[in-house]
Structure 1
């Protein structure tokens, strides 16, 4: 008796063990996937943006200027890239050109100190504040098509034409090149004995645009006049601007808030696992009532008739007829009414545009118009079906018959 009972319980125990194992494995897979997603999210949020920004002489992307730096080196010009203003100023000596993009991270005093030992300074991008600080000009509206230098600067004689997307109005005694007195792409200031050049080179000297028009020649004319170039790259880490830190949500909240949130999240995960283990596998259960499709159709028809909604009924008739016609005509199931009407007209050999009103025209508003629409749709389907079964007679066979 005991052996018989043991034999009847063993299969049940053996059946429950695989289920429990599958449940544990399933939850283990879910936990691993959650950990992977969290790890990827942390890596993505912690990954800084591109190491090199626009007009960076070491940037290899489309906005960088590595190609320009390499061209200068091929021409025998030494390119010394500096990311510290102190190191850049110390590297400047006689016969050196100082090159930089808009130094938005420096104060006016720091910029003046950096420019002081340089005989030539070239700004590859600028801002309204920089133009005012240099007193070299102002922004000018509009853009110009490809133009030549049209100025007295000898270095620009062989540049050719450039097409700039930003113009400047030169100040008094400042030379404006590649434009006119109302707006020029390049400003040359020789008033203090040292030359200062300003140009918006984002669309001229980047890796993606350097080969267009005379962009490369203009870059060599600006940067290749000395044997050595000190290229300073401004950055927020090298800024001398002292600003007040802005209060953030993290700085305003008490220090215990973050641990409390993490504890609540862990408690929620633990509760989900605990409650989730109490549910067994899904069981397929046969519904007590089976509703036939025909009964559903008749029920919807009775509701439509009771509401006297002829337009809704007509729209349903059109949709069904359009789908059936599309299938018989070899069209896609989602073909539009115009496409189905044209294909049906071609099949029936009647002018195109004849069936558009039937399939996509105004909906009927009364029962008589609804009945007429249903009759015409049925006739159209019957005609298409008949034409599909009709054998095709070739011209040669017709001639032989006659």
Structure 2
């Protein structure tokens, strides 16, 4: 068999599918990165610059149309500077969806003396700014009336309460927007500032702001002061030596990995359905069949696989005996043994021992059994050949 090495063009043609798949995966990862990063504000849910249905850009534009100055910050230092200038005329919205802030940093936010709005906060934020409030988890959703004594919500009748639910445990806070899972809004108020815990976050999104009384709800909660600082904590707030791999990983990494995984699964399903056409490997030399046989024999010898080597000889012998005795190509071993033993008037147990049962204990037995196979095949040939 004469073969030659594959050319560069042949290799590129054979790898065409994987090159296309890799290009699609890279393009998808880049798209996810661009959409998901957005400077830390654009592609995230409830992002003030996110125009997607899950974003909150519409709320920001409505607030600005009402004359409210909305500014976005991504670090605790910048937030403190923005709020401390005029805390009495400034509200602070905190959306720590990635859990960057520590307990000490929440305490620092509580000392800013400004009205604070928390979007679906965790328990550490509640313990620092809203003691007595417990996070219960996701809310099943639906529409509800405020049903509380908060004056700014008194005119509302129907608000989308999908998001997170909270419970009040022995505090003086006002609980609003009751659902089957808990409360969609909790508000603390004193003589200087207030803390509003918002779990009904879908009402603030672009996709729902025009439904029910959601727009009025957003203005009532976020439009109480002339200025609103929209604080999105980032990895820059993580103390040196703190944080975990999950908190320090950009938000676009996980969807990118999921996309690559799905592309790999699709490739495996597509390519695993069939073996594909046989491909002749091109080599620069001519390999004789005898060399291949000798090479395999040396491998069997080196690994001590005497029985495996003998089985290869037996398979060939059985095939030739089947044809010589007129049996079908798919004849079983028992049929071959029966036909050969009756043809040679030999003991079936002895014939079966040579063809199947005998195991070589050493190289001498292997050679002896190999000779026995050859002798058996010659005897059948003589018996089946006319004189």
Name the TM tier (shorter chain).
0.5 to 0.7
Q: Which has the higher contact order (CA 8 A, sep 6+)?
A: 2
Q: Which residue of 2 aligns with 1:124?
A: 119
Q: Which residue of 2 aligns with 1:276?
A: 282
Unaligned runs of 5+ in 2: 38-42, 246-278, 287-327, 329-387
Deviates more, 1:66-75 or 1:200-209: 200-209
Q: Which residue of 1 aligns with 2:90?
A: 96
What displacement does 1:279 show? 10
The answer on whether the counterparts of 2:95 and 2:233 sit within 8 Å (CA) in structure 1 is: yes
Q: How many pairs were matched up?
A: 236
Distance change >3 Å, CA 204–CA 44, structure 1 → 2 = same
CA distance in 2: counterparts of 1:28 and 1:145, whole angstroms = 56
The answer on whether the counterparts of 1:99 and 1:231 sit within 8 Å (CA) in structure 2 is: yes
Deviations 1:199-249 (A, max 9, x none): 114322111122222111111001111111000012234323743767xxx
What displacement does 1:45 show? 5.1
Deviations 1:18-40 (A, max 9, x none): xx9x9664345446775565555
2:175 is aligned with 1:176: yes
**TM-score of the superposition, structure 1-length normalised?**
0.50
Deviates more, 1:91-100 or 1:115-124: 115-124
Report SS of the residue matched to 1:226. coil
Report SS of the residue matched to 1:81. strand
Deviates more, 1:31-40 or 1:146-155: 31-40
CA distance in 2: counterparts of 1:225 and 1:206, whole angstroms = 19
Q: Which residue of 2 aligns with 1:138?
A: 134
Counterpart pick for 2:59 among 63, 68, 72: 68
CA distance in 2: counterparts of 1:115 and 1:274, whole angstroms = 73
> What are the within-5 Å matches in structure 2 for residues 2-401 of structure 1?
25-30=9-14, 37-38=21-22, 41-42=25-26, 44=28, 48=33, 50-51=36-37, 52-92=43-83, 93=86, 94-102=88-96, 104-134=99-129, 135-139=131-135, 145-165=142-162, 166-171=164-169, 172-179=171-178, 183-191=182-190, 193-240=192-239, 242-243=241-242, 275-276=281-282
**TM-score of the superposition, structure 2-length normalised?**
0.52
Deviations 1:345-397 (A, max 9, x none): xxxxxxxxxxxxxxxxxxxxxxxxxxxxxxxxxxxxxxxxxxxxxxxxxxxxx
Distance change >3 Å, CA 188–CA 26, structure 1 → 2 = same
The answer on whether the counterparts of 1:79 and 1:231 sit within 8 Å (CA) in structure 2 is: yes
The answer on whether the counterparts of 1:138 and 1:169 sit within 8 Å (CA) in structure 2 is: yes
What displacement does 1:127 show? 2.1
What displacement does 1:44 show? 4.8
Unaligned runs of 5+ in 1: 1-19, 247-272, 281-298, 300-402
What displacement does 1:170 show? 2.1
The answer on whether the counterparts of 2:173 and 2:188 sit within 8 Å (CA) in structure 1 is: yes
The answer on whether the counterparts of 2:127 and 2:133 sit within 8 Å (CA) in structure 1 is: yes
Report SS of the residue matched to 1:204. helix
